Structure 1
Amino acid sequence: MRALSLSFRLAVLWCLALALPGCIDPYMPDAISTTKSYLVVDGFINSRGSTSIKLSRTFDIDAKTAPPIETRATLFIEEEGGTRYAVPETSVKGTYTSASLTLNPAKNYRLSIRTSAGLEYASTFVPVKTTPPIDAVTWRPSENGLTIYINTHDDTNTTKYYRWEYEETWEIKPPYYPQIEYKNGQMQDITVPFPTICWGNSNSSEIKISNTTRLTQDVVADFPLRALPITSDRLAYRYSILVKQYAQTAEEYIHWDLLKRNTENIGTLFDPLPTQLTGNVQCLNNAAELALGYVGAHSTEQKRIFISRTELPRNWRVTNGYENCVPPDTVFLKNTRLDGIAALLQSNFSSPLYLPIDVLYLPTGRVSGYLAKSNDCIDCRTRGTAVKPSFWP
């Protein structure tokens, strides 16, 4: 899942462009509260594999709901003067995915869209760019943390424009493994143990682009892709990053560069005003219906690396994200009458958000209480998945 999707970026930028320039005084113009909903196209034509396109709609900047998705649309990849390839909707509503394709690098392609409301859109025909392989993904520690770098080159000197995305995965190990559970009004040995390890996952949200137009060779050397602080809980045990590389045309690069500037440089009064970004998608049967997004055509290259805690400097105080979970709470039964214990257990453990961990005994063998903590401190599935990724060692 991307933390800041293209749909969200474009929707917010469109609303901001309508509202600015503005004043220091807070003001919500009518234009923002009555924003017209435009189509947002998120994705590219994959020339060597499956193409995945997400369709959504812009939304009011003060909206309390998620961006509306565009379902039941009909999508095709079209070769200029040639074949059409279907891009059907998947079980994930608003996401459309084609079969694995190998497109002709000597041809131009575009994406055509017909919505359920009968609106027809098409991107401009674009040439296919062949992405060169990633030479290396490296990392180096410093006094501030860890930086991950990308290295690539094109011997033909024709790529020039690059964009990257990445997907992070890391191990999560909770501090507690309950031995007991509160069930049917009483404490008993746990029947279904909680997982002892989970895996967190996150997609890149920043726009990472670079070009080599001012260099004599088409070489990208040590481009800083991701920085993690020393205290990052993603480095607590084992961390992995999958880097995806895309070659771009100059026009597509300019689009992403403008999007990057608009999303990163609107923090102060003196930053450049947002540009009304649209892209290369137009509505064919209604000129008033705008579309946001740029659909390029290129192949994808990717490379994965792993980083273990044992590879990092020993003096780093890496956290695991559970610092506030230690020590556990104690629910004492001291001075509780036998007929009141059931009520005490009910009041403490009837909620699934607060769980017992283990039993505390007096020297006499009598139960004196229970260790307990919140569900988030015990069940690592609140922070990730217990399903081991297929690529994990």
Structure 2
Amino acid sequence: MSLSTFCYRLAWVCGLALLLLPACTERYIPDVISSPNSYLVVDGFINSQGISSIKLSRTTAIAATKVPPVETKATLFIEEEAGTRYPLTENPLGTYTSANLTLNPAKRYHLRINTFAGKAYTSDFAPVKTTPAIDAVTWETNPDGLNILVDSHDPTNATRYYRWECDEAWEFNTPYRPIVEYVNGAIRPIAVPYPDYCWAFGTSTAITIGKTTALTQDVVSKFPVRYLPSSSARLQRKYSVLVQQYALTSEEYAYWDLQRRNTESLGTLFDPLPSQVKGNLHNVGDASELVLGFVGVHSRAEKRIFINHAQLPRTWVTITGYESCEPPDTALVGQLDGLLAGGRLYVPIYPFYTKTGYIFGYAISTPVCVDCRKRGSALKPSFWP
């Protein structure tokens, strides 16, 4: 989950809690929610064995309707304590990336940000945490859905605190593949067929963390990192998940744990009030300014798996989003100009014939029901088998 998403959820929970207070109670809006100030949000980590990517944005007031602005034209460095500086470059706007780095595990590092407006921010110096490899990513089904599970271990017992993210991709297709097309007022065999399959992508927004501090060995066994209901459209044909694992310090784990508690709150009177999540960033010239985010220093381990629909229980029925497409509509020959002109409302799929072999009409459907590019990409991912 990005920090911007967290800020929106925190504001929503606070607002809902206020609405549930008795009417005779004087309304109170916390300063951080009602303030017109625009606080810096720093989203990312220092990758000790690869490319670091840091996103900068600004918070907006709870009543704002605009998308929060990104922080552009800033100057960022990864700095080694009493040592080397590594610059980050902006591309695209608001996202800053480093070169492919290998940092010294015996040193401490932090992030320095100089904004275009002249303010300077830094994260606290932090030690390098080397993330152990993922031993296995497996899956299991229950009557209601699918669990993605992770196995990992650190033989040195030095990790103890973990966080996981899941990047997903899935293959899907539309109910129909047209064999004809409507061009210049006439039906003809289709010249460029629609794609057979497309791919969509997503990232799990859940905050998934775990710790092994209560165990004698630093072992993670069958830890659930993603759940999909049996009806999920992601399971229509083939589903893939890339599980990314991060080793955390105890301070970074506490930060993510509090963020998880805030975002998972239901916002009722019986829930604890959301807490202000303080990270490890601060304004160099004004310690009182709120800065949102936590920049850790660690490597990343990852492992990808694929799941075919044929491997899942036969009783599972996925809700694809194409249910309204079936059955197709019918357009008689005399109706074609009104229904098919421009291809915006309907497109033809295949002809209907009389018993004597004459075409009297065509099966038609909306573009989204025949063109999977309306919901995804026809470009096959490089990692797809």
The verdict on a shared fold, with TM-score over 0.5 as the criterion, is yes
Aligned-partner residue type, residue 56 of structure 1: S
Counterparts in 2 of 1:18 and 1:275: CA distance versus 1, 3 Å: farther
Aligned-partner residue type, residue 282 of structure 2: Q
Equivalent residue number for residue 330 of structure 2: 330
Distance (whole Å) between structure 2 residues aligned to residue 64 and residue 331 of structure 1: 43
Aligned-partner residue type, residue 74 of structure 2: A
Contact 1:107 1:127 in 2 (8 A): yes
- Cα deviation digits, residues 247-271 of structure 1 (max 9, x gap): 0000000000000000001332211
Unaligned regions of 5+ residues in structure 1, if any? none
Contact 2:52 2:98 in 1 (8 A): yes
Aligned-partner residue type, residue 49 of structure 1: G
Contact 1:47 1:102 in 2 (8 A): yes
Equivalent residue number for residue 49 of structure 2: 48
Equivalent residue number for residue 191 of structure 1: 191
- Cα deviation digits, residues 328-364 of structure 1 (max 9, x gap): 111124xx4xxxx5xx523444352432212223234
Equivalent residue number for residue 163 of structure 2: 163
1:312 aligns with 2:312: yes
Per the TM alignment, residue 7 of structure 1 is displaced from its structure 2 partner at its CA by: 1.6
Distance (whole Å) between structure 1 residues aligned to residue 359 and residue 12 of structure 2: 61
Equivalent residue number for residue 381 of structure 2: 389
- Cα deviation digits, residues 47-88 of structure 1 (max 9, x gap): 000000111111122322222111111110000000000111
Secondary structure of the 1:376 match is helix
Contact 1:328 1:371 in 2 (8 A): yes
1:112 aligns with 2:104: no
Counterparts in 2 of 1:229 and 1:328: CA distance versus 1, 3 Å: same
Counterparts in 2 of 1:34 and 1:329: CA distance versus 1, 3 Å: farther
Unaligned regions of 5+ residues in structure 2, if any? none
Equivalent residue number for residue 261 of structure 1: 261
Distance (whole Å) between structure 1 residues aligned to residue 79 and residue 11 of structure 2: 28
Equivalent residue number for residue 271 of structure 2: 271
Between 213-222 and 307-316, report the one with greater CA deviation: 307-316
Equivalent residue number for residue 6 of structure 2: 9
Secondary structure of the 1:222 match is strand
- 1:105-254 correspondence to structure 2 within 5 Å: 105-254=105-254
Distance (whole Å) between structure 2 residues aligned to residue 269 and residue 187 of structure 1: 63
Per the TM alignment, residue 142 of structure 1 is displaced from its structure 2 partner at its CA by: 1.6
Counterparts in 2 of 1:14 and 1:313: CA distance versus 1, 3 Å: closer
- Cα deviation digits, residues 221-245 of structure 1 (max 9, x gap): 1111111222222122211111000
- Cα deviation digits, residues 191-219 of structure 1 (max 9, x gap): 32211101111111000000011111111
Per the TM alignment, residue 179 of structure 1 is displaced from its structure 2 partner at its CA by: 1.8
Contact 1:208 1:225 in 2 (8 A): yes
Distance (whole Å) between structure 1 residues aligned to residue 268 and residue 15 of structure 2: 18
Counterparts in 2 of 1:18 and 1:361: CA distance versus 1, 3 Å: closer
Counterparts in 2 of 1:288 and 1:28: CA distance versus 1, 3 Å: same
TM-score with structure 2 setting the length: 0.92
Aligned-partner residue type, residue 376 of structure 2: G
Aligned-partner residue type, residue 328 of structure 2: P
Distance (whole Å) between structure 2 residues aligned to residue 166 and residue 48 of structure 1: 20
Aligned-partner residue type, residue 13 of structure 1: L
Identity, % of aligned positions:
54
Per the TM alignment, residue 36 of structure 1 is displaced from its structure 2 partner at its CA by: 1.4
Contact 2:18 2:28 in 1 (8 A): no
Distance (whole Å) between structure 2 residues aligned to residue 305 and residue 281 of structure 1: 36
- Cα deviation digits, residues 107-127 of structure 1 (max 9, x gap): 110000111111111000000
Per the TM alignment, residue 30 of structure 1 is displaced from its structure 2 partner at its CA by: 9.4
Aligned-partner residue type, residue 118 of structure 2: G
Between 356-365 and 270-279, report the one with greater CA deviation: 356-365
Distance (whole Å) between structure 1 residues aligned to residue 322 and residue 12 of structure 2: 39
Equivalent residue number for residue 299 of structure 2: 299
Between 62-71 and 142-151, report the one with greater CA deviation: 62-71
Per the TM alignment, residue 128 of structure 1 is displaced from its structure 2 partner at its CA by: 0.4
Aligned-partner residue type, residue 272 of structure 2: P
Contact 1:349 1:356 in 2 (8 A): no
Distance (whole Å) between structure 2 residues aligned to residue 178 and residue 268 of structure 1: 51
Contact 1:17 1:275 in 2 (8 A): no
Distance (whole Å) between structure 2 residues aligned to residue 308 and residue 385 of structure 1: 19
Aligned-partner residue type, residue 373 of structure 1: S
- Cα deviation digits, residues 2-51 of structure 1 (max 9, x gap): xx522221354267669966644797959545531111000000000000
- Number of positions where the alignment pairs a residue of Structure 1 with one of Structure 2: 381
Secondary structure of the 1:217 match is coil
Distance (whole Å) between structure 1 residues aligned to residue 85 and residue 275 of structure 2: 33
Structure 1 runs (4+) greater than 6 angstroms displaced? 25-28
Between 99-108 and 302-311, report the one with greater CA deviation: 302-311
Distance (whole Å) between structure 1 residues aligned to residue 20 and residue 323 of structure 2: 43
Distance (whole Å) between structure 2 residues aligned to residue 14 and residue 112 of structure 1: 28
Distance (whole Å) between structure 2 residues aligned to residue 299 and residue 332 of structure 1: 62
Secondary structure of the 1:350 match is helix
Secondary structure of the 1:258 match is helix
Distance (whole Å) between structure 1 residues aligned to residue 119 and residue 16 of structure 2: 27
Contact 1:239 1:306 in 2 (8 A): yes
Secondary structure of the 1:255 match is helix
Between 324-333 and 166-175, report the one with greater CA deviation: 324-333
Distance (whole Å) between structure 1 residues aligned to residue 271 and residue 309 of structure 2: 40
1:63 aligns with 2:64: yes
Distance (whole Å) between structure 2 residues aligned to residue 93 and residue 53 of structure 1: 11
Which of these residues, 314, 325, 347, is aligned with residue 355 of structure 1?
A: 347
